[in-house]
Amino acid sequence: MSGSGVPLRVVSYNVHGQRDDTAALAEVVRATAPDVVVVQEGPRRFRWREKSAALAESFGLVVAAGGLPALGNLVLTDLRVRVTGARCRRFPLTPGRHLRGAAYADCVVGRSARFTVAGSHLSTDPAERPGQAELFRRDLAAAPYPVIAAADLNEEPGDPAWRTVAEGLTDTAVAADRADRLTYSCANPRRRIDALFVDPRISVVDYDVLDTPLTRRASDHFPLLVDLLIPAAG
């Protein structure tokens, strides 16, 4: 897909609660020079603000949205991106299961290229995922600007929750003809459960799943690296 607009580089990354090699994690992200990083499994407990800021700083970025109110989902940006609004969502709790949520940031890049970044991490429970996907999809549909939606969906293309979130959006892997790139797990890559979807008005320039010795040390998921063109307001 090609087009005109303002360039934006986005990384989506499940960082596995920073339980792996954090120096490798920081090196991986910094080397990509991203404008936006959407994090799953970020800080969500004691001193989460401080820990989220430290994670962002290790990437050379700042926190735009998320943290505990979004249950570990974070949107991080560089100083080229102006954040005009932020909000969080918690999905309804099923007793005895993990809390899940989503983070949203309304942004501007360049003079007038506006977009909404959304990040989420759906449940591992197949009974919970469809309802969470529907709530996430409703939020995406209500976003004020063209959306960039990054998520660990915990299921693969064609499955129910994946179809719900993807409805009306462009799967950046498919657009770049790289849907064969697997994202999980780093130890034994067998599944594509991490995705980045965009509004059709946003052009996909490039897409990659970063499978390197460094990314295999940094987390149990590979990061997605996507180059986009954001349409400028007329």
pLDDT in tens, 137-193: 999 999 999 999 999 999 999 999 999 999 999 999 999 999 999 999 999 999 999
What single-letter DSSP state applies at residue 78?
Answer: -
**What does the pLDDT read at residue 1?**
44
**What does the pLDDT read at residue 3?**
65
Joined tokens for residue 60: 């050379």
State the pLDDT confidence band at 98, using cuts at 50, 70 and 90.
confident
Work out the percent of the chain whose per-residue pLDDT is above 90.
91
The predicted model scores a pTM of 0.96
**What does the pLDDT read at residue 217?**
97
Helix (H, G, I), strand (E, B) or coil at 77: strand
**What does the pLDDT read at residue 7?**
97
Mean pLDDT in the chain? 95
**What does the pLDDT read at residue 228?**
98
**Is it true that domain 6-230 has CATH number 3.60.10.10?**
yes
What are the strands, taking DSSP E only, across 51-100? 62-67, 73-77, 81-90
Distance CA 224, CA 17 (A): 17
| Max intra-chain CA distance, the chain | 50
List, in sequence order, every residue forming a beta bridge with 113; answer none if it has no partner: 109
Whether the predicted pLDDT of 94 surpasses 80: no
Q: Which residue has the higher pLDDT, 25 or 128?
A: 25
Burial letters 116-131, b for 16+ CB under 10 A, else e: bbbbbbbbeeeebbbb
**What does the pLDDT read at residue 76?**
98
- If one counts every other C-beta atom within 10 angstroms of the C-beta of residue 99, the result is 14
State the pLDDT confidence band at 234, using cuts at 50, 70 and 90.
low
Whether the predicted pLDDT of 2 surpasses 70: no
Joined tokens for residue 11: 């990384």
